[in-house]
């Protein structure tokens, strides 16, 4: 919530000289919502709550998850460095929301015949399964050899056992779960990392 700009941490010295902290909401919209609307809502009407939760699940969670995915891509360049391509979202070689042979990718990066395909599975309860991977593989290998492609798949929920088995077989497939967002990214740059390894 801090990285999303909703909450801020305020540190202060106590009477004993120790540093303490408190958290306050920094987003004015959320401050207003929680102070006035949320506290005066009619909770007997379940449809209001359901509408709010639908928005949170389908919009807010996806936005935050996608931002974290992009942050991971920026900080974990070693996950695809063997392609000899530096991955930049703001490069003209990087296309967003690409539909390829009926399959949509969130980003496709082209570098001298090598391709990096990025796909987010960002719906709560959704996870990448064998049919999903088969669809991705079929769509991308119609115009480029599998070994010239790099796949980086993100999942808000989890990956199937089949996908984990495939990732151990293919060096060019990287599965990223939400737990991968937790480590301090800068510490990871110290050691080289083979695609397919997970922390």
pLDDT band at 10 (very low <50, low <70, confident <90, very high): confident
Distance CA 102, CA 100 (A): 5
- Judgement on whether residues 79 and 53 belong to the same structural domain of the protein: no
The residues that bridge with 11 in the sheet, in sequence order, are 21
Q: Which pLDDT belongs to residue 157?
A: 80
Measure CA 97 to chain center: 15
Q: Which pLDDT belongs to residue 130?
A: 92
Average pLDDT, integer, range 41-47: 61
Helices of type H across 43-113? 46-55, 61-75
Residue 194 has pLDDT above 60, yes or no: no
Backbone angles phi, psi at 125, to 5 degrees: 95, -15
Parent domain of 125: 68-188
What is the count of structural domains for the chain?
2
21 three-class SS: strand
Pick 107 or 37 by higher pLDDT.
107
pLDDT in tens, 47-88: 666 766 666 666 677 778 888 888 888 777 655 554 445 566
- Judgement on whether residues 18 and 104 belong to the same structural domain of the protein: no
Residue 199 is assigned to a structural domain of this protein: no
- Judgement on whether residues 37 and 125 belong to the same structural domain of the protein: no
Q: Which pLDDT belongs to residue 93?
A: 76
pLDDT in tens, 141-163: 887 888 888 899 998 888 889 99
Helices of type H across 23-124? 28-32, 46-55, 61-75
Work out whether the CA dihedral 150, 161, 154, 139 comes out positive or negative: positive
Residue 172: in which H helix or E strand, if any? Answer: none
pTM above 0.75, yes or no: no
- Judgement on whether residues 52 and 87 belong to the same structural domain of the protein: no
- Judgement on whether residues 37 and 79 belong to the same structural domain of the protein: no
- Judgement on whether residues 30 and 82 belong to the same structural domain of the protein: no
- Judgement on whether residues 28 and 96 belong to the same structural domain of the protein: no
Q: Which pLDDT belongs to residue 191?
A: 39
- Judgement on whether residues 51 and 31 belong to the same structural domain of the protein: yes
Q: Which pLDDT belongs to residue 198?
A: 43
Pick 179 or 146 by higher pLDDT.
146
Q: Which pLDDT belongs to residue 58?
A: 64
């Amino acid at each position: 919530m801090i990285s999303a700009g909703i909450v801020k941490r305020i540190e202060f010295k106590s009477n004993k000289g120790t540093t303490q902290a408190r958290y306050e909401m920094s987003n004015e919209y959320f401050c207003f919502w929680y102070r006035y609307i949320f506290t005066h809502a009619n909770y007997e009407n379940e449809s209001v709550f359901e509408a709010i939760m639908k928005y949170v699940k389908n919009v807010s969670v996806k936005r935050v998850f996608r931002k974290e995915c992009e942050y991971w891509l920026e900080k974990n360049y070693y996950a695809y460095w063997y392609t000899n391509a530096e991955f930049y979202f703001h490069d003209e070689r990087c296309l967003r929301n690409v539909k390829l042979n009926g399959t949509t990718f969130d980003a496709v990066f082209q570098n001298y015949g090598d391709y990096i395909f990025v796909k987010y599975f960002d719906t709560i309860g959704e996870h990448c399964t064998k049919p999903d991977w088969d669809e991705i593989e079929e769509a991308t290998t119609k115009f480029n050899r599998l070994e010239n492609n790099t796949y980086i798949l993100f999942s808000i929920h989890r990956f199937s056992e089949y996908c984990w088995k495939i990732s151990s077989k293919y060096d060019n497939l990287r599965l990223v779960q939400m737990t991968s967002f937790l480590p301090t990214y800068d510490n990871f740059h110290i050691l080289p990392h083979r695609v397919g390894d997970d922390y």
